[in-house]
Amino acid sequence: MWREAREYYGKPVDYTPDEFVKILVIDGCFIVELFRKDFYTELREEDDPIFTMSYMRQFLFHDLILLENQVPWMVLERLFNFTLDPRHKMPLIELAQDFFGNFYVSKPRSGYPPIQDIKHILDVFRKWLVSPTEEERGHLDWTLLMPSATSLVEAGVKIKRRESKSILDMKFNNGVLEIPGLYIHEITETFFRNLICFEQCFPNCEPRFTSYAVLIDNLINTAKDVDILCENKIIDNWLNPEDAVPFFNKLYYNAFLKEIYYQKVRQDLNNYCKRRWPRWRAVLVRNYFNTPWAILSTAVAAILLILSFTQTWYSIY
């Protein structure tokens, strides 16, 4: 097994085969038992140092998604099968999904075909979120930028939260941009950076999350853009709006893209923003129909105008 596991590491491993296997077994058993005890509470000791201290889970989540800390999934699966208890039949991948559920950036993946060819835990995360999406990729055109949230609203585009199993599942149709919810907290940046790093480093890996980061960066330029997305329940932000802007703007620094996803969404949005009527309608609604009092005053003014016109017409007649 150690030869096969060795192929997962790019740099030389300065350990003997026995030392290398010992490291994999210790780390792998810890992860497997962590997932088991998280789901099967009866397996926990009364003074368990992990589950009796709340902050430990967040630290472990942070460390387990770092690209440099990944243990080959084949190692975890073999150790899991070696230590399988007939009373606890939950598959390893479902235990992992349950453990990371509290820190997830979107809804857990379910109801889809089993994930194949898993490399490690970070790869599991990526496949959970990528599989439900059907976005096509195209040639990268930096001149075709996604308008900011403020510009979209001013152009008459409605921004709406999309209920989806993946944060990547973004759609635009008939003037409505639907974006799945995204939870921003202390670990979200680490999560995204490691996913993007994985896409940049792994051969022939589709740049799904890198494309998403570029799109969100275009969408958010100011704190007002963040406010718009929060008001529409797109972003559940635990940070200040001012802090959220640089968070998104620096996600894909030093990343390289030859192809990008969401080209159709970007093209359709840019074409829609060039149309005049949606923009005029948005201005009309924003200036005259944004509050009940504005609607009432506009209606009264219209009625007075009609009455004045009618009176003038009858006088002339």
pLDDT of res. 245: 81
In angstroms, rounded to a whole number, what is the distance separating the alpha carbons of residues 182 and 167?
7
pLDDT of res. 290: 55
In angstroms, rounded to a whole number, what is the distance separating the alpha carbons of residues 38 and 94?
12
Angle, vertex CA 248, rays to CA 244 and CA 253, nearest 5? 140
In angstroms, rounded to a whole number, what is the distance separating the alpha carbons of residues 268 and 45?
56
pLDDT of res. 6: 80
pLDDT of res. 97: 83
Q: pLDDT below 50 — which residues of the chain?
A: 105-109, 277-278, 280, 282-285, 288
Q: Is the pTM above the cut of 0.95? A: no
pLDDT of res. 284: 47
pLDDT of res. 280: 45
Half-sphere exposure of 261 (CA within 13 A, CB side): 19
Neighbours of 301 (CB within 10 A): 11
pLDDT of res. 74: 93
pLDDT of res. 160: 92
In angstroms, rounded to a whole number, what is the distance separating the alpha carbons of residues 292 and 313?
31
What are the structure tokens assigned to 256, written together?
């390289």
pLDDT of res. 139: 59
